[in-house]
Chain A
Amino acid sequence: MGESITLFSEDGKRSDGRSLDELRPIRIKVGVLSNAQGSAYIEQGRNKIIAAVYGPKEALPKHISLPDRCILRCRYHMAPFSTTERKSPAPSRREIELSMVLRNALEPLVMTWLFPRTVIDIFIEVLQADGGTRCAGLTAAVLALADAGIPLKGLVAACAVGKADGKILVDLNDLEDKYGEADMPVAYNPTLDGITLLQMDGIMSKEEVEQALSLAITATQKMHKMQVDALRERFSVQRREV
């Protein structure tokens, strides 16, 4: 079981050669789909995730609409081939929960009161999963919202932190997620000093949670820079076209 898996090499490096506070290689591209109002693609380690945004559009049927703001609909979904064993395409309990958690993480950013009686659809499709999909998916989804031109109070970047073999580490991969002691996904916006997504499972002392939290904040700030670069790349290209 857990004992037979080695998460750290003798020189203290992680299974994929990273140091404790090192993120996996990340590649982000904004504006990857032609039909969606906004879209973004992220690769983080071996994760490959696309996020797309449609709307704001009229909320139908009428009874789901709210008179004073727009509503958000969010679907987090893993492709059947995204995991080692085939995953049934029907939404699992985990996917249903994560769809809600991600919607809750995005909702405080969207200026919903500007578009009463409308709905914004957010789709997060995991093409390949390698641990930390909800965070990578959220990082992409925020960019898809920004790409769609939907007014936001800012971006959030999300990153899982956790504990494995007694060490606090950042951006857990699949192996560390499965055999580590704790996993804590965090989404953070530095300007607003706000965490919009916070979950934890596994065992950590108060001090360890605090330490993990500060690692998460540093990591999300790094990721925030990558998000900004990806947006700049997208829109500076567009400017040349005009």
Chain B
Amino acid sequence: MRESPSRLVLVGEPLATLEEFFPGDGTFEKDGVIYSSRIGRVSVDRNRRMLEVVELKPLLVPKPGFKIIGSVTGFSSHYANVRIFYVNGNRLSYEYTGLVGRESFGRSYPRFRTGSLRNYVRENDLIYGEVMSTVNVNLIDLSAKEYGVVKAYCGNCGSPLVLFKKYLTCPSCRTRENRKLSVFYNEQIERLVARV
């Protein structure tokens, strides 16, 4: 049972004692007293006896489970580098980098399990995914069906690829390419952001 966030608290405000609650997110404990570590609203989980302070404006630092939109900037040995510029639907004023590797695709795409990573994503592609780990690097999960490439560009001439009868085709040079596509392929970025 979780009570909805209530009153506004400020940094360093005493909230409760350790006898009453465990200190949760947005709090810290000193000498048996729980203090708020950020500006936000107090939220209480009575079952877990957990006291949290829910932030007013989110800090846009990638955390596992956060949904991201980014573009592929290049490849390095076994990974594709990604520039992340949306986190949980918020445009970042400073971008983060992330990686896409084989582990990003899980088991959902067995037909791609062989061959180059370039069968999944390519340079300049716009991708929609979820942060799966932030240990050392931000690793991006693209395995679910809503995740994957949302806009692809031809590896040959750079034109945007169109989805025609389940195949990605370049309208100008007629090449066909493979990607791990999101079900939202070709959706406007604004609408995609709104989904998050």
In the complex, the answer to whether A58 meets B96 with C-beta atoms within 8 Å is yes
Query: Is B58 within 8 A of A153, CB to CB?
Result: no
A18 surroundings in chain B (CB, below 8 A): none
Report chain B residues within 8 Å CB of A118: 61
Contact check, B97 vs A58: say whether CB atoms are below 8 A apart. Answer: yes
Which A residues are CB-close (under 8 A) to B136? 67, 117
Which B residue's beta carbon lies closest to that of A191? B12
Partner of A149, one of B56, B94, B96, B134: B56
Number of B residues near A (Cβ < 8 Å) is 26
Q: How many residues of A contact B (CB 8 A)?
A: 33
The reply to whether A56 and B61 form a contact with Cβ atoms under 8 Å apart is yes
Of B38, B58, B97, the residue contacting A146 (CB under 8 A) is B38
CA separation between A235 and B14, bound complex, in Å? Answer: 18
A58: which B residues are within 8 A, CB to CB?
A: 94-97
Provide the residues of chain B in CB contact with A236, threshold 8 Å: 8
Q: Does B57 contact A (CB under 8 A)?
A: yes
A151 at interface by CB-CB < 8 Å: yes
List B residues at the A interface (Cβ < 8 Å). Answer: 8, 10-12, 14, 26, 28, 30, 35, 37-40, 55-59, 61, 93-97, 134, 136
Given A146-B11, A154-B11, output 19 extra A-B contacts at Cβ < 8 Å.
A35-B93, A37-B93, A54-B94, A55-B94, A58-B94, A146-B38, A149-B38, A149-B58, A150-B38, A152-B11, A152-B12, A153-B30, A153-B35, A191-B12, A191-B14, A231-B10, A231-B39, A238-B56, A239-B8
